[in-house]
Structure 1
Amino acid sequence: MDKLRRVLSGQEENEERGLTSQVLDASSLSYSTRVKWFFICFVAGILLSILGTALLFIPGGGFKLFAVFYTLGNLAALGSTCFLMGPLKQLKRMFEPTRLIATIVMLLCFVLTLCAVFWWDKKPLAILFCVLQFLAMTWYSISYIPFARDAVMKCFTTCLS
């Protein structure tokens, strides 16, 4: 649209834009579209995790499906935030010092869950990694809420003492 305006006003520039600016211009979404796709992706992630948990009780190969669907659900829920802030900003915020450990543990648990199911064939280990996925995702998520980590830490120290 901007190019059409420049052509019609006689201000067409001959210099080519970089690939990054072209991608950013082509992928810009309105705020309402971003929020809609965030909710769609987030709900899909929750449904995949619930479906994975339900598949856990299927005899035979249900355990492998559980691990796959649970991990895909967590990835979809994590990816849903890309619609709100954009993928580059999301990646930058994921690896900020306050979230670095939670991000690494979370991503590592995604991989280790699938390794435990498909290559190592260790069900208890896969369940442990799924629990760690949940805990890392929770710790990562509350890092976006101001003072939430401090409140959780204070609550746990009060309960344990």
Structure 2
Amino acid sequence: MDKLRRVLSGQEENEELGLTAQVLDATTLSYSTRVKWFVICFAGGILCSILGSALLFIPHTGIKLFAIFYTLGNIAALASTCFLMGPLKQLKRMFEPTRLIATIVMLLCLILTLCAVFWWHKKGLAIIFCILQFLAMTWYSISYIPFARDAVMKCFTTCLS
């Protein structure tokens, strides 16, 4: 009906532009929706990580469940930021020079955790990779806070001195 009104009033638009605008309008989320889904996804990630940690103590399959849930939790927490800034911008920012090493270590540890559990069957190695996941994810996350890395490094060197 809107199209007919535009044609009759002489406001006919280019059909491709109209389709592109419609697709962009359909895929654009409001700010409140983005924040809500960020919180839901981030909380789901934390819940998966906590659940994975609790499942660690189940005999025989506990380490596998731990590795799966802990890794899924980190992926969900990482993916939650896509709701705030968009997936493409998130990927660009992940691989900026200031975050490149933390991103590579984090992604590598995600993969190596699962490899340690399912292919190599090394429980201790899986736990080490989960700890490295946590450290890399923390280092990656604080890179978004101005001067946070410098403060952490200064605190760490002061504690060691």
**TM beyond 0.5:** yes
What does the per-residue CA deviation read over 1:108-161, in whole Å, with 9 as the maximum and x for residues that have no partner? 100000000000111111111000000000000000000000000000100111
> What is the CA–CA distance in structure 2 between the aligned matches of 1:129 and 1:158, rounded to whole Å?
27
Judged with a 3 Å threshold, the aligned counterparts in structure 2 of structure 1 residues 69 and 149 are, in CA distance, closer, same or farther, namely same
Partner of 1:113: 113
Higher Cα Rg: structure 1 or 2? 2
**Paired residue secondary structure (2:16):** coil
| Distance apart, 1:27 and its partner CA | 1.5
* Correspondence list, 1:106-145, <5 A: 106-145=106-145
* Aligned residue pair count: 160
Judged with a 3 Å threshold, the aligned counterparts in structure 2 of structure 1 residues 6 and 137 are, in CA distance, closer, same or farther, namely farther
| Distance apart, 1:51 and its partner CA | 0.3
What does the per-residue CA deviation read over 1:84-128, in whole Å, with 9 as the maximum and x for residues that have no partner? 001111111111110010001000100000000000111111111
Partner of 2:25: 25
> What is the CA–CA distance in structure 1 between the aligned matches of 2:4 and 2:92, rounded to whole Å?
34
* Structure 1 gap segments, 5+ residues each: none
Partner of 1:63: 63
More deviation in 91-100 or 3-12?
A: 3-12
Matched, 1:39 2:44: no
Matched, 1:12 2:9: no
Aligned amino acid, residue 59 of structure 1:
P
> What is the CA–CA distance in structure 2 between the aligned matches of 1:4 and 1:148, rounded to whole Å?
56
**Paired residue secondary structure (1:16):** helix
| Distance apart, 1:10 and its partner CA | 3.2
What does the per-residue CA deviation read over 1:56-83, in whole Å, with 9 as the maximum and x for residues that have no partner? 0011111100000000000000000000
Judged with a 3 Å threshold, the aligned counterparts in structure 2 of structure 1 residues 136 and 23 are, in CA distance, closer, same or farther, namely farther
Matched, 1:147 2:147: yes
Q: TM-score, normalised by structure 1?
A: 0.90
Matched, 1:91 2:91: yes
> What is the CA–CA distance in structure 1 between the aligned matches of 2:88 and 2:21, rounded to whole Å?
13
* Structure 2 gap segments, 5+ residues each: none
Judged with a 3 Å threshold, the aligned counterparts in structure 2 of structure 1 residues 59 and 68 are, in CA distance, closer, same or farther, namely same
What does the per-residue CA deviation read over 1:25-72, in whole Å, with 9 as the maximum and x for residues that have no partner? 331100000000000000000000000000000111111000000000
Identity %: 87
Q: What is the Cα-based RMSD across aligned positions, in Å?
A: 2.3
> What is the CA–CA distance in structure 1 between the aligned matches of 2:159 and 2:134, rounded to whole Å?
21
Judged with a 3 Å threshold, the aligned counterparts in structure 2 of structure 1 residues 150 and 3 are, in CA distance, closer, same or farther, namely farther
Q: TM-score, normalised by structure 2?
A: 0.90
Aligned amino acid, residue 156 of structure 1:
F
